[in-house]
Amino acid sequence: MINILVVDDKPNRYSDLIQRVLNSSTVKDANFRSSTNVQDGLAQLRQTRFDLVVVDMLLPETAWSEQIDEGGAVLLEYIQEDDDIKLPAYLVGITAAAEVSPRVEKIFASNPWQLLRTAKGGGAWEEQLERLITHAYLNETRTQQVAYETDVCIITALRTPEFEALRDTALRLEESVPIDPTSFATIGSLQTPKGPLSVVAASCLRMGSTESALLSYKLIERFRPRMLVMIGICAGYEPNVDYGDPILATPAWDYTCAKISDDGNGHREITHAPDYIAVDREVVAKFEQLKQDRAFFQKLHEQWRGEKPRSLFPTLHIGPSATGPAVIADASVFQEIRSKQNRQTIGLEMEAYGVYCAARMACRPRPVSFSVKSVCDFGSFLKDDKYQAYAAYTSASVATEFLMRYGRDVVDSM
């Protein structure tokens, strides 16, 4: 099925073209919708992801207003700026004007969209549009043929201590296979009360959001997982968390995303522009349930035979965690992020945002992604490696327990 939206105050002008498409031997299934004004078109774009949107440049803004020459431009600007809009795969503008305004020219020059000019005569624009519909249909059909192949892919920042901690859980990691000439993964499984899960695990060669994003994308393309999971260690905000506490990062963002400007008088200003990516609400709800199981976390603490804090057992936290490019040993960084970007920030680490970005930008079918990292220090000058192994252990154990209890529910719902 391909979804097509035509935004034109006279949508019946496309009737013959639509009929030809529906009668063609190539396009087997197409859902055409129409809208006659900007506001109604935006409403439909917020509700449905369309494969192709056709927008006339001469449009009224509402059902009761007059046409304006740049009505289509207004709609296109909303598409660029409104985060609630479900971006279409392809967008085509239509204009009967011999010359278009600089505003319209700029929109099409700065976006991967096409403007068809009906004033050039004949039915050439209709033939172009018909070919584009056919192309969009074939592309969507091929995308739908790609299916999930693996239940869970798990990624760690480094082999030691995170990946080694993963090996000590109930996961059975057995066969090492190449993803490509530069990356390897380990194939395994997890036996849960509701049935087995197929698992692939891999570790980055270096820390950092770029490394994690690249490895995540490789895993997605090669193994097509339903879930993409990050485990490991992080810094925590000391008044709110303790050593070994796991943090489900939601949202995660790159805290270095900003604009740095100078007024010419030596006054420097940093304006932040965080891109927050949240975890799926159903996943969060299941972590909320796991968080209540005090007996599990107490047992988790008791079973660790290495160096561990004096607190009775770790507490699972669900909250904002910022991703950045550096290992932090300066408590003021936490304070600045909390004061200028998200006042509830409790985690600080180097990879989660990259993993979330890879999942968000992947071709369909996309995986559900989440990161569970445990606190090994507080990002201050007192930072040391004392509790890294313990934090890696609690992170790997909590992620595995989540998969044991809820993994099949998540993958069966996809």
Instruction: Give the model confidence (pLDDT) of 376-387 as tens digits.
Output: 999 876 667 889
User: Which position has the token pair 């600045």?
Assistant: 336
Residue 82 and residue 191 in one domain: no
Residue 272 and residue 182 in one domain: yes
Residue 255 and residue 353 in one domain: yes
* Helix, strand, or coil (residue 63): coil
Q: Which residues pair with 233 in a beta bridge?
A: 374
132 Cβ neighbours under 8 A, 6+ residues apart: 52, 90, 92, 114
Residue 169 and residue 70 in one domain: no
Residue 44 and residue 141 in one domain: yes
Q: Which of 114, 145, 176 is the last residue of a domain?
A: 145
How many structural domains compose the chain? Answer: 2
Q: Which of 127, 145, 163 is the last residue of a domain?
A: 145
Burial class (CB in 10 A: 0-12, 13-18, 19+), 398: buried
What pLDDT score does 221 carry?
A: 93
Helices (H), 275-351: 281-291, 294-303, 331-340
Residue 64 and residue 190 in one domain: no
Residue 72 and residue 29 in one domain: yes
Residue 235 and residue 354 in one domain: yes
Write out the residue range of the structural domain in which residue 26 sits.
2-145
Segments in the chain below pLDDT 70: 25, 120-123, 142-145, 263, 329, 381-383
Q: Which amino acid, one-letter code, is at 29?
A: D
What pLDDT score does 230 carry?
A: 98
Answer for the pair 90, 132: CB distance below 8 angstroms, yes or no.
yes
Total-model pTM: 0.68
Residue 340 and residue 278 in one domain: yes
Q: What is the torsional sign of CA 282, 363, 198, 176? A: negative
Would you tell me how many other CB atoms lie within 10 Å of the CB of residue 48? Answer: 13
Tokens of 367: 């995986």
Report the alpha-carbon distance of residue 341 to residue 170 in Å, rounded.
38
Q: Name the nearest CA neighbour of 222 among 363, 411, 352, 372.
A: 363
Residue 240 and residue 105 in one domain: no
Answer for the pair 383, 333: CB distance below 8 angstroms, yes or no.
no
CATH code at position 400: 3.40.50.1580
Residue 71 and residue 101 in one domain: yes
Terminal-residue alpha carbon distance, the chain: 18
Q: What is the DSSP letter of 162?
A: I
Burial class (CB in 10 A: 0-12, 13-18, 19+), 239: exposed
25 Cβ neighbours under 8 A, 6+ residues apart: none
Residue 91 and residue 202 in one domain: no
CATH code at position 45: 3.40.50.2300
CA 278 to chain centre: 8
What pLDDT score does 381 carry?
A: 66
What pLDDT score does 89 carry?
A: 86
Q: Which amino acid, one-letter code, is at 324?
A: G
Q: Which of 95, 117, 145 is the last residue of a domain?
A: 145
What pLDDT score does 123 carry?
A: 64
CA distances to 255, 262, 265 from 268, rounded to whole Å, are 18, 5, 9
User: Which position has the token pair 């503008």?
Assistant: 93
Burial class (CB in 10 A: 0-12, 13-18, 19+), 155: buried
